[in-house]
Amino acid sequence: MDDIAIKVEAVSKLFKLPHEKQSSLKSAFVNILRSKKGYEMQAALKDVSFEVKKGEFFGIVGKNGSGKSTLLKLLAGIYVPTSGSIAINGKLTPFIELGVGFNPELTGRENVYLNGALLGFSRKEMQKMYKDIVDFAELKRFMDQKLKNYSSGMQVRLAFSIAIRAQSDILLIDEVLAVGDAAFQQKCYDYFRQLKKGDSTVVFVSHDRGAIENFCDRCILVNDGEIIETGEPGRILLRYNEVTLDQIADAEKSKELNKKKRWGNKNIEITDAKTVRNKFAPNEQIEIKVSMKSHKGAEKPVYGIVIRNSRGEPVFTTNTKVEKVDTGLVKAGEAVEINYEIDNIFGNGSYTVSPAVANEDTNVFYDWRDNLIKFHIAGWDNPHTEIHPKHNISLKKG
């Protein structure tokens, strides 16, 4: 345990969800007599186990409602586990309820001394720190105003500036910087870099992929109250992206796929379209098959597709006319299958395919089926770009 800062063993946390509001003592008594539970149990965390090493910058990743904040509050001692155990080896400061203890009727200056006292500092110690606190928060002009006149961002800046003075072995940080402006966030990240160089242990919850990649040594991925993966940040973020895409795909199964607009005279009808799989990995070739049936003969019809991203923007389009593919004569009653093979340079995300067929001059559409099918891309280790073309980088010095 000497090199372990936090040890979590088989921790579960259950919450009671009331079925109906008890508006009076009488109604509560009546419900007891009915011998029926007026609530159900919700499992926010289920049998969670992990360790955080001393000096480690440890990330917790997961979608909203996955159990991340509940886990941090258990580590901070705000909640008590329903089952399991948590061992903390060192002094811990939570940055998850910043501003607790602030009095809105007091000035910013008075709240600095009040909050400092709650952290265990003497007035003399706070006097020495006061200028640094105010300078970091960039609130010099506002310190003699009542806190109730501060914006939420100003309050967080002041609270964070006080909290970082605490001499702690372990820090818990939960997206508290989301309301800060870009300049203040940069200050916070500079502070994180100092922590990373020192001996402090940091547990960090964030949706900021860049911050997770830049600061964390190791991460866990939490989903529906369970840890589904542990490892280095890059791998965890890729897995997180895959889980998110799978959940989006499941949700869309019960809905109409976007807006499936369709038009054309149906001389040639698009009967089906499909990809060889629902999800493609980096550099894996995307194959799309479109099936059609001709109801009337057509000379040199033009077949094509449009691929759009999740915002509905076209990212790729092609057709047989542009690619100089001779489609010849299609007879009435004849079936046609068009195969598209496309190099996967698309970024992680969801895409729709709109197949179409038109006459030789592309001024009459036989059939156009907008957003007929969808596929997903997952696995690229650079999430900050929409395309991944093959490229080289060279460098010369001197």
Task: Quote the DSSP letter at residue 346.
Answer: B
Residue 13's SS3 state is strand
Q: How confident is the model at residue 189 (pLDDT cuts 50, 70, 90)?
A: confident
User: Alpha carbon of 82 to those of 12, 76, 322: distances in Å?
Assistant: 6, 15, 64
Residues of the chain above pLDDT 70, percent: 87
Say yes or no to pLDDT of 320 above 70.
yes
Residues 6+ apart with CB under 8 A from 142: 108, 150, 154
Give the mean model confidence (pLDDT) for residues 91-116: 85
Task: Quote the CA–CA distance of 113 and 111 in Å, as a whole number.
Answer: 5
Q: How confident is the model at residue 38 (pLDDT cuts 50, 70, 90)?
A: low
Residue 179's SS3 state is coil
Say yes or no to pLDDT of 25 above 60.
no
Helices (H), the chain: 25-33, 68-76, 108-118, 123-137, 152-163, 182-197, 209-215, 233-252
What is the predicted pLDDT for the residue at 396? 87
Task: Quote the DSSP letter at residue 275.
Answer: E
Residue 15's SS3 state is strand
The owner of tokens 């891309």 is 377
Q: How confident is the model at residue 287 (pLDDT cuts 50, 70, 90)?
A: very high
User: Alpha carbon of 132 to those of 162, 173, 356: distances in Å?
Assistant: 9, 21, 65
Residues 6+ apart with CB under 8 A from 181: 153
Q: How confident is the model at residue 27 (pLDDT cuts 50, 70, 90)?
A: low
- The partner residues of 319 in beta bridges, in order of sequence, read 304
User: Alpha carbon of 117 to those of 111, 157, 168, 169: distances in Å?
Assistant: 10, 18, 15, 19
Q: Report the length, in residues, of the chain.
A: 398
Q: How confident is the model at residue 254 (pLDDT cuts 50, 70, 90)?
A: very low
Q: How confident is the model at residue 219 (pLDDT cuts 50, 70, 90)?
A: very high
Residues of the chain above pLDDT 90, percent: 43
What is the predicted pLDDT for the residue at 282? 85
From the list 72, 71, 55, the residue with the least C-alpha distance to 4 is: 55
Highest mean pLDDT among 213-217, 334-338, 344-348, 358-362: 334-338
Say yes or no to pLDDT of 20 above 60.
no
- Identify the structural domains of the chain with CATH numbers, from first to last: 4-250 (3.40.50.300), 262-377 (2.70.50.60)
Burial (CB count <10 Å: 0-12, 13-18, 19+), residue 36: exposed
Lowest mean pLDDT among 29-33, 123-127, 308-312, 358-362: 29-33
